[in-house]
A and B are shown apart, each in its own frame.
Chain A
Amino acid sequence: MLRNDIEITPDLVRSHGLKPDEYQRILDLIGREPTLTELGIFSAMWNEHCSYKSSKRWLRTLPTTGPKVVIGPGENAGVVDIGDGQVAVFKMESHNHPSYIEPYQGAATGVGGILRDVFTMGARPIAAMNALRFGAPDHPKTRHLVSGVVAGVGGYGNAFGVPTVGGEVNFHTRYDGNCLVNAFALGLANRDGIFLSEAKGVGLPVVYLGAKTGRDGVGGATMASAEFDDTIEEKRPTVQVGDPFTEKRLLEACLELMASGAVIAIQDMGAAGLTCSAVEMGAKGDLGIELDLDKVPVREERMTAYEMMLSESQERMLMVLEPAKEAEAKAIFAKWELDFAVVGVTTDDLRFRIRHQGEVVADLPIKDLGDQAPEYDRPWTVPPRPAPLHAADVPGPADVAAALLSMIGSPDMASRRWVFEQYDSLVQGNTAQIPGGDSGIVRVDGTTKGLAVSADVTPRYCEADPFEGGKQAVAECWRNLTAVGADPIAATDNLNFGNPEKPEIMGQFVMAIKGIGEACRALDFPIVSGNVSLYNETHGRGILPTPAIAGVGLLPEIDKRASIAFKTAGDAVLLVGGHGDHLGQSIYLREILGREDGPPPPVDLAAERRNGDFVRTLIRAGTATACHDLSDGGLGAALAEMAIAGATGARIVLDGLVPHVALFAEDQARYIVTVAAGNAEAVLADARAAGVDVERIGTVGGSELTLGDAGTISVKRLTDAHEGWFPAFMAG
């Protein structure tokens, strides 16, 4: 056991992830050498994961306000108004490094952490999603990671009782040594029932709630702020262990507690546990916090102050209590059999003071811990843009139908049923759209409103051009919400990148943010919460830049929504947004020609908006019988997915078009909509009036998908190819 007053050597500083100049900053701030506990506290507060020191400058450029935004970034989750005095509370957060080291627990505690972020604010979680990226399917670790991560996401969310209604799974060799696990949660609260972390009032009890503190996760946030190397197995003890049963009790107890009026401020213990939560509460409220660690409920003996302050044991909360309500609050936690301990007090001296066994082991200026954290304007270079790739220079396949079959059965396009059937998508009884549609949809309990959620990013686009890729991630999310009939309200971002100390990586980050910002502004789709995960590198090789965007949309009447399935024979198939010819970075190029080149499709945000608004109107009017956005795999993949979902074919006309270009181009701002045949002419006329490019390309019906003269495939074969890959891969 290390003593608290040991000499702080350069090695010790380095092992805490602090650079020499950062350590000097500490010395300047406090005017003396820190104790070991204090060094740990600085390391926890100043690592990349907690301080956003490389990203802050750029995050400030994102649009974060709007008429429906109640609370933007800076709290545990973003809050937006959904009418009737209700708000939606949501955020997405990464748990990448822990999930690579220990896939089940890493993913499980990722889900646990994001759920806690949402219910800390007083919202009951009503939907979850997760965006997962794994290495190449044939990499020896991939199956192990997929299996563990999916089981961990399900194991936690299912027991907690939140429906998982959406998400993404991608494979690429650039994630071989660094998988991504981004967990999203959406909660529902009353607008006047939101709780914040800002402490108020001097001399008030600071209360510890939930599970006991152990040694798990000590140093986790610092680990998450470093690259991986061969010592990774040694980092296993830094991964926390999840207990969804305790989390479920903590949820119920916290919501009861909040209803009782006992909570003045509340903060969950996430990264860097007790340290971050206490500092956050004090610093936001302009108050000091004094903690007595002898009062902290522990599950291991002889824990040091250092370990207690840095433990990332799960399912814990810290709150400032209304003293008059102490007995009532205690009784609620006793009922749920959870720990409730007064561990400290708010003070007026702006110090963060920690006592342990009669000694003061840390005494730091509380505001400086957050405010004085280093902030970097890291050098960055604009990534070179790929040379244009003209459709005429992209050869066609020998057999267009066979190419489509192969594409929809490829790792990135195949059905995710193997994954999402391990998630409870129905619990709470409000699910209107399970995974497999453009967005997941849940009803707002007790109302006729619905909330749609979608998580999107196309990392290969971001790699080729982070600016257009960033725009595209936002546009696709907005489009997916639109495609079910929802009004997109706002989004959360989870920015996963490599080492920001490399100018080319920082350049990816900066350009992606610029793209995201531009798209969010153009689509009135503000970013209200988010998370940055940097240093996603192994042996010096970064992941594909992966700025995942998760959006929330409102369906004023949940019955006015669309699904992707073809429904009725005779329905007209309409293409909104026109035929495309952009094959750069397409699935066709990669899966059929084995090439990953060219620029990604450019995103025309005005067209996105115009076309999307037109589609949404059709859905709301009840005219659209099915709707699907066009993205990976283009028109051909979208038609195949609609046919598979509806177990019904269609006859598509491609007169005068080059089949592989028309079918596989990934131009943006496009949808397929089906309408009753009798409505088609009127819809086309409306489109002309609105300046939207809509054309009829075919008719629903039969048991085959006919692609002009280019080929015909039975829906059965499409289904077998689409559904077959994932189970076969995992059984492999």
Chain B
Amino acid sequence: MKSAVVVFPGSNRERDMAAALTKVSGTAPMMVWHQDTTLPDVDLVVLPGGFSYGDYLRSGAIAARSPIMAAVREKAAEGVRVLGVCNGFQILTEAGLLPGALMRNAGLKFVCREVKLSVANADTDFTRAYGAGAVLRCPVAHHDGNYFADPETLARLEGDGRVAFRYADGTNPNGSVNDIAGILNDAGTVLGMMPHPENLIEALHGGTDGRGLFESVVTTLAA
């Protein structure tokens, strides 16, 4: 699987993401600078976590307007898989590639802890390795992860099976509506999620529940 990780000034989980992609897919991703205007020929584009531009405006707002994002939009339109984790999810919503918004956590504080995620739709390119109804462990680390969308958008997301992950067992850490932790675009090719599967992929991390996401993409693309 060929992949690219976009690096914005202020990204800070690009190395974690690169390590996860390398360890699961066997191939290191290409790192792409935000000022670039083209993306290499890849199967997966990842927007990693961090605080792009310090998140001094709304989280992800400035990164969503950086030069590379036109290329990300083009790739998404072509059906190339796009994954945005944490700040990457925020950037995808700010860029209009995913609906809704990520507001300040309901508790108003940054929160770093392990939560439970239920796989709300196991029939997607990003989740099929998990199986229907699976519940996995996954860490979160964010200040603005409180997902919100208007009722119509929410109904459409729910009705079309576009909710990929939900916080389970009462572990919603941020007040997200419908316990939403990750959503897909209409075509099912773009996933945004707040939790960090890249931080739970090996014994050192205390578990490997995050691998399924990367394995799903690898399997999908190999098919």
* Residue in contact with A155 in the complex, picked from B9, B110, B198, B205, CB distance below 8 Å: B110
Given A159-B55, A429-B199, verify A422-B112 contact (CB < 8 Å): yes
Stretch of A81-89, A240-248, A630-638, A660-668 lying at the B interface: A240-248
In the complex, chain B residues whose CB is within 8 Å of the CB of A423: 110, 112
Residues from chain A with Cβ under 8 Å of B53 in the complex = 245
Instruction: Encode B31-65 as 1/0 by CB contact (under 8 A) with A.
Output: 00001000000000000011101111000000000
Cβ < 8 Å to B, chain A residues 390-423: 420-423
Given contacts A244-B51, A245-B51, A245-B53, contact A427 B109 (CB under 8 A): no
Which chain A positions have C-beta within 8 A of B109? 151, 422
C-alpha spacing A335/B54, complex, angstroms: 16
- Determine how close the nearest CB of chain A comes to the CB of B19; give it in whole angstroms: 5
* Contacts known (A245-B54, A245-B56, A336-B9); A426 close to B141, Cβ less than 8 A: yes
Which of A155, A248, A335, A427 has the most B CB atoms < 10 Å from its CB?
A427
Q: How far is the CB of A453 from chain B (nearest CB, A)?
A: 16
A651 at the interface (CB under 8 A from B): no
Q: Please report the C-alpha to C-alpha distance between residue A159 and residue B55 in the assembled complex, in whole angstroms.
A: 9
| A42 CB-CB contact with B under 8 Å | no
- The answer to whether the Cβ of B16 comes within 8 Å of any Cβ in the partner chain is yes
Q: Is A215 an interface residue (CB 8 A)?
A: no
Chain B CB within 8 A of A337 CB: yes
The answer to whether B199 and A422 have CB atoms under 8 Å apart is: no
Asked if A237 is at the interface (CB within 8 A of a chain B CB), the reply is no
The answer, yes or no, to whether A154 is at the interface (CB within 8 Å) is yes
Using a CB-CB cutoff of 8 Å, which residues 150-175 of chain A contact chain B?
151, 154-155, 158-161
**B175 near A: Cβ within 8 Å?**
no
Residues of chain B lying within 8 A (CB to CB) of residue A495: none
Which single residue of chain B is at the shortest CB-CB distance from A160?
Answer: B12
Interface string of B84-117 (1 = CB under 8 A from A): 0000000000000000000000000111110000
> How many Å lie between the Cα of A248 and that of B109 in the bound state?
21
Alpha-carbon distance A427/B9, docked complex (angstroms): 16
Residues of B within 8 A of A245 (CB): 9-10, 51, 53-56
Is A543 positioned at the interface, with any CB of B under 8 Å from its CB? no
Name B20's contact: one of A243, A429, A432 (CB within 8 Å): A429
CA A432 – CA B109 in complex, angstroms?
24
A164 to chain B, nearest CB (A): 9
In the complex, A428 has a CB within 8 A of chain B: yes
A244 lies within 8 A of B110 (CB): no
Cβ 8 A contact of B198, one of A151, A158, A159, A429: A429
B interface residues, how many (CB within 8 angstroms): 30
Report if A430 contacts B (CB, 8 A): yes
Proximity bits, A429-465, B CB within 8 Å = 1, else 0: 1111000000000010100000000000000000000
Residues from chain B with a CB closer than 8 A to the CB of A429 are 13, 15-16, 19-20, 198-199, 205
Q: Taking the complex as formed, is A200 at the interface, i.e. its CB lies under 8 A from any CB of chain B? A: no
B138 to chain A, nearest CB (A): 11
The answer to whether A424 touches B110, judged by C-beta atoms less than 8 angstroms apart, is yes
Is there a chain B Cβ closer than 8 Å to A425's Cβ?
Answer: yes
Binary interface encoding of chain A residues 218-259 relative to chain B, with 1 for a CB under 8 A from any of its CBs, else 0: 000000000000000000000000011110110000000000
Bound complex: CA A430 to CA B214 (Å): 18
Contact of B16 among A155, A428, A443, A558 (CB under 8 A): A428
A543 to B112, CA, bound (A): 32
Q: For A337, what are the chain B residues with a Cβ–Cβ distance below 8 Å?
A: 9
A485 CA / B218 CA spacing, docked (Å): 37
By a CB distance below 8 angstroms, the chain B residues around A160 are 12
Chain B contacts of A246 at CB under 8 A?
54
Known interface pairs A158-B110, A427-B16; A248-B10 also in contact (CB < 8 Å): yes
With A159-B55, A161-B50 already in contact, the answer to whether A424 and B141 are too (CB < 8 A) is yes
Q: Is the CB of B110 within 8 A of A428?
A: no
Q: Is B222 in contact with chain A by the CB < 8 A criterion?
A: no
Task: Give every chain B residue within 8 A of A559 (Cβ-Cβ).
Answer: 203
Most buried by A among B9, B35, B50: B9
* Contact present for B112 and A426 (CB under 8 Å): yes
Distance from B51 Cβ to chain A, minimum over Cβ atoms (Å): 4
Contact, CB under 8 Å: B9 / A248: yes
**Contacts of B203 on A, CB cut-off 8 Å?**
559
Min CB gap B158→A, angstroms = 30
The A/B interface has a contact count, at CB < 8 Å, of 82
Query: What string of 1s and 0s marks CB contacts (under 8 Å) between A336-363 and chain B?
Result: 1100000000000000000000000000
A443 to B204, CA, bound (A): 8
Q: Decide: A243 near B199, CB < 8 A? Known: A428-B15, A429-B20.
A: no
Residues of B1-25 at the interface with A, using a CB-CB cut-off of 8 Å, are 9-10, 12-13, 15-16, 19-20
Interface residues of A in 130-157 (CB under 8 A from B): 151, 154-155
Decide if B12 touches A159 in the complex (CB within 8 Å).
yes
Report which residue of A161, A249, A335, A431 has the largest number of chain B beta carbons within 10 angstroms of its beta carbon: A161
A427 touches B12 (CB 8 A): yes
Set of chain A residues within 8 Å of B110, measured between Cβ atoms: 151, 154-155, 158, 422-424
Q: Quick check: B16 and A159 within 8 Å, CB to CB? A: no
Contact A427 B13 (CB under 8 A): yes
Residues on B with beta carbons closer than 8 Å to the beta carbon of A159 = 10, 12, 50-51, 54-55
Of residues B12, B143, B203, which shows the largest number of chain A Cβ atoms within 10 Å of its Cβ?
Answer: B12
CB distance B111 to A248 under 8 Å? no
Residues of B within 8 A of A158 (CB): 51, 110, 112, 141, 143
| Nearest CB of chain B from residue A444's CB, rounded to whole Å | 11
A427 to B50, CA, bound (A): 9
Taking the complex as formed, is B75 at the interface, i.e. its CB lies under 8 A from any CB of chain A? no
**A243 to B9 Cα, complex, angstroms:** 13
Q: Which residue of B lies closest to A433 (CB)?
A: B206
Chain B min CB distance to A584 (Å) = 38
List CB contacts (< 8 Å) of B178-214 with chain A.
Answer: 196, 198-199, 203-205
Chain A residues, Cβ within 8 Å of B205: 426, 429, 431
CA distance A423 to B109 in the complex (A): 10
Q: Which residues of B contact A424 (CB under 8 A)?
A: 110, 112, 141
B161 interface residue (CB < 8 Å to A)? no
Q: Which residues from A are CB-within-8-Å of B12?
A: 159-161, 248, 427
A425 x B13 contact (CB < 8 A) = no
Bound-state CA distance A245–B9 (Å) is 8
Closest-CB distance, A151 to chain B (whole angstroms)? 7
CA distance A122 to B95 in the complex (A): 36
Contacting pair A425 B51 (CB below 8 A): no
Bound Cα distance from A151 to B109, whole angstroms: 8
Distance in Å from the Cβ of B169 to the closest Cβ of chain A? Answer: 15
Chain B nearest Cβ from A726, distance in angstroms: 13
- How far apart sit A421 and B113, CA to CA, in the bound complex (Å)? 6
Known A161-B50, A248-B9, A427-B12: A422·B20 in contact at CB below 8 Å: no
- Of B16, B143, B203, B204, chain A has the most CB atoms within 10 Å of the CB of B204
Q: What residue in chain B is nearest A252 (Cβ atoms)?
A: B9
Q: How far is the CB of A26 from chain B (nearest CB, A)?
A: 42
Cα A246 to Cα B196 in complex, Å, equals 24
B5 to chain A, nearest CB (A): 13
Interface string of A582-619 (1 = CB under 8 A from B): 00000000000000000000000000000000000000
Shortest Cβ distance from B70 into chain A, in angstroms? 20
15 contacts between A and B (CB under 8 A): A159-B51, A245-B10, A245-B54, A248-B9, A248-B12, A249-B9, A421-B111, A422-B111, A423-B112, A424-B110, A425-B112, A426-B139, A427-B12, A427-B16, A429-B199
B residues at A contact (CB < 8 Å): 9-10, 12-13, 15-16, 19-20, 35, 49-51, 53-56, 109-113, 139, 141, 143, 196, 198-199, 203-205
Closest 5 CB pairs of A and B: A161-B12, A245-B54, A429-B16, A159-B51, A424-B141
